[in-house]
Amino acid sequence: MKIFITGSNGFIGSHLVKKSLDEGHKVVGLRLPNHTEKINLPKQPIWISGTLEDDFSKVLTECDVLVHLAAYGVNPIYDSWQESFRWNVTASLNLWAQAHNAGIKRIIIASSCSEYGKSAERYEFIPVDAPLEPVDAYGASKAAATLAAMAYARDKKMELAVLRLFHIYGDGESSNRFWPTLKKAALDGSDFPMTSGEQIRDFMNVEQAAEYFLNYVTNVSIEPGNPCIKNIGTGNPQSLLEFAEMWWSALGAKGVIKSGVIPYRKNEVMRYVPKI
């Protein structure tokens, strides 16, 4: 199978590229110019450089499936409303239309638990039909993108799976995110300042997330014109502090976890746990 993957040099994308190649698939990886993959890849895909606003019609005609991982605003410092909707909705729709016109029948899209927003706090385990009440530009634009993709798939009778990710961590994650900063402090012998850590999350290793995506690419049956949304997580609630203490011990850290010295983020959602 030949798979077109956007965000292919990103955190999850790099792992999906590696797993796909390891299992014998051909991969076309779309990456931004002058960007490299987040992990070492013993095998290389067919790399193409560009953005979601470019024309990939020709190469898409040679592919079987589109996996759309690229997104704007995952890092809160890039929380721009205009840019989030430009890339996550309008530019993404441009690519989905190219895929449809090129004859691709199946699209797999990475979604986010941020789409649930404040409604997540009303559920012990969030069902996929929970109201979408995002609290920032990223969550709002991803929610809009999900609605657009679902309607487009119904209209064009395409096979679509929207995989709503919760909290993915692991090798290749951006250095300013929680797990990499905790790991660095542990290995450096430094103390680790954090919030009080009462946030309840569902943590999944990135390699397991990549397995989910590849399974939906190759194995899961999807009815044309009847798109599905799936929560992707472990279903195991854990506080941020519990997660930190678990890894602090596993890494043999010598410093101290200093909980409560960093304030919560604006509009912090205190519980994100999916119903699997």
Domain boundaries, the chain: 2-169+203-232
Q: Which of 28-37, 38-47, 83-92, 162-171 has the lowest mean pLDDT?
A: 28-37
Average of per-residue pLDDT across 145-168: 98
pLDDT over threshold 90, residue 2: yes
pLDDT over threshold 90, residue 200: yes
Whether the Cβ atoms of residue 7 and residue 13 lie closer than 8 Å to each other: yes
Kindly state the percentage of the chain with pLDDT values over 90: 94
CATH for 2-169+203-232?
3.40.50.720
The pLDDT of residue 37: 84
Q: How confident is the model at residue 171 (pLDDT cuts 50, 70, 90)?
A: very high
Q: Read off the amino acid at residue 154.
A: R
- Residue 184: count other Cβ atoms within 10 Å of its Cβ: 13
Average of per-residue pLDDT across 215-228: 96
Q: What are the strands of the beta sheet with 2-6, ordered from one edge? A: 46-49, 26-31, 2-6, 65-68, 106-112, 159-165, 228-232
How far is it, in rounded angstroms, from Cα 17 to Cα 8? 7
- Report which secondary-structure segment, H or E, holds 2: strand 2-6
pLDDT over threshold 70, residue 78: no
Q: How confident is the model at residue 77 (pLDDT cuts 50, 70, 90)?
A: low
How far is it, in rounded angstroms, from Cα 226 to Cα 151? 10
Please name the residues in contact with 194: beta carbons below 8 A apart, sequence gap of 6 or more: 178, 182, 240, 241, 244, 257, 258, 259, 260, 261, 262
Global pTM value: 0.95
